[in-house]
Amino acid sequence: MNTKITKLIQHLTRLPGIGPRQATRLALAMADWDNDELREFGDAVSNIKNGPLFCGQCFNFADGELCSICSSSKRDRTRIAVVEKITDLRSMEKTGAYDGVYHVLGGVLQPGNKEKIKTEELFQRVASLPNPSLAEIIIATNPNTYGETTALYIREKLAPLGIRITRLAQGLSTGSSIEYSDETTLAHALKHRR
Ligand SMILES: [Zn+2]
């Protein structure tokens, strides 16, 4: 194997879900691209951290201070869906059944997890809502052990604010995930939240 291709394969295997065999396929496909395509790809990678990357309010991807959802006048700001990852937000957006806003935690609470998830930011955001009693927090963490633990923690912390808190779990079987649920199931789980 060529050393340049080997190096590319090593980089690609660092990505989630990409094993050596897939990385090799991807690298070989890229070897077929022309120079312009490769340069664009390289630029996209090297520019990823130039300028804002995340929304200052919900931690979705953003080009400016706020993401397109937080800055849209069509979204209902009194409803906040709390999701684990941006990919979960994308799955919920695909249903077309949700017109509220989001809060991306960036993970779940789990023992030994050193990465800080955005719970404090959520609590501050909710506390500063103009009228918390009219708002709803939809906890859309995954229906597994850590997702449930995180949901419980958020619920307990927000309870004193007297805010309506619902859980998106109806219809989603235990151990399944928001990201890989089909749109109909997810729209149903959203409609029948409680
Ligand atoms: Zn946002």
- Give distance in angstroms: CA of 169 to centre of ligand 1: 23
Q: What is the pLDDT of residues 87-145, one digit of tens each?
A: 999 999 999 999 999 999 999 998 877 678 999 999 999 999 988 888 999 999 998 88
User: 169 and 83: one domain?
Assistant: yes
- Give distance in angstroms: CA of 171 to centre of ligand 1: 27
Is residue 170 over pLDDT 70? no
Residue percentage of the chain with pLDDT more than 90: 71
User: 121 and 173: one domain?
Assistant: yes
Q: What is the pLDDT of residues 119-134, one digit of tens each?
A: 999 999 999 998 888 8
- Give distance in angstroms: CA of 55 to centre of ligand 1: 5
Is residue 26 over pLDDT 70? yes
User: 94 and 27: one domain?
Assistant: no
Q: Specify the residue for token string 């291709």.
A: 5
Number of domains observed in the structure of the chain: 2
User: 14 and 103: one domain?
Assistant: no
- Give distance in angstroms: CA of 60 to centre of ligand 1: 5
Query: Is the residue at 181 inside a domain?
Result: yes
Sequence-separated contacts (24+) of 12-18 with Cβ below 8 Å? none
Residue ranges near ligand 1 (ion) with Cβ within 5 Å:
55, 57-58, 60, 67, 70
Question: What is the arithmetic mean of pLDDT over 78-84?
Answer: 96
Is residue 164 over pLDDT 80? yes
Residue 81's domain is classified under what CATH number? Answer: 3.40.1360.10
Question: What is the arithmetic mean of pLDDT over 167-183?
Answer: 77
User: 38 and 109: one domain?
Assistant: no
User: 41 and 123: one domain?
Assistant: no
Q: What is the 3-state secondary structure (H, E, C) of 137-188?
A: EEEECCCCHHHHHHHHHHHHHHHHHCCEEEECCCCCCCCCCCCCCCHHHHHH
Encode 177-188: b = buried (16+ Cβ within 10 Å), e = exposed.
bbbebeeebbbb
* Cα–Cα nearest to 88, from 74, 103, 77, 100: 103
Question: What is the arithmetic mean of pLDDT over 163-171?
Answer: 82
Percent helix, strand, coil in the chain, to 5, is 40, 10, 45
User: 18 and 96: one domain?
Assistant: no
Residue 7's domain is classified under what CATH number? Answer: 1.10.8.420
User: 34 and 83: one domain?
Assistant: no
Q: What is the pLDDT of residues 41-52, one digit of tens each?
A: 999 999 888 888
Phi/psi of residue 167, each to 5°?
-125, 130
- Give distance in angstroms: CA of 80 to centre of ligand 1: 11
User: 91 and 25: one domain?
Assistant: no
User: 172 and 95: one domain?
Assistant: yes
Cα 185 to chain center, whole Å?
A: 18
Query: Is the residue at 104 inside a domain?
Result: yes
Is residue 177 over pLDDT 80? yes
- Facing residues of 164 across strands? 136
The predicted pLDDT at position 132 comes to: 83
The predicted pLDDT at position 171 comes to: 62
Reduce the DSSP state of residue 122 to 3 states and report it.
helix
- Give distance in angstroms: CA of 30 to centre of ligand 1: 33
- Give distance in angstroms: CA of 21 to centre of ligand 1: 36
Domain enclosing residue 89, as ranges: 76-191
- Give distance in angstroms: CA of 39 to centre of ligand 1: 30
Angle at 60 between CA 56 and CA 63, to 5 degrees: 70
Query: Is the residue at 132 inside a domain?
Result: yes
- Number of Cβ within 10 Å of residue 160's Cβ equals 8
Q: Specify the residue for token string 């993970």.
A: 107
Question: pLDDT band at residue 189, thresholds of 50, 70 and 90?
Answer: confident
User: 39 and 80: one domain?
Assistant: no
User: 117 and 161: one domain?
Assistant: yes
Over its C-alpha atoms, the chain yields an Rg (Å, rounded) of 20
- Global pTM? 0.79
Question: What is the arithmetic mean of pLDDT over 178-182?
Answer: 84
Query: Is the residue at 59 inside a domain?
Result: no
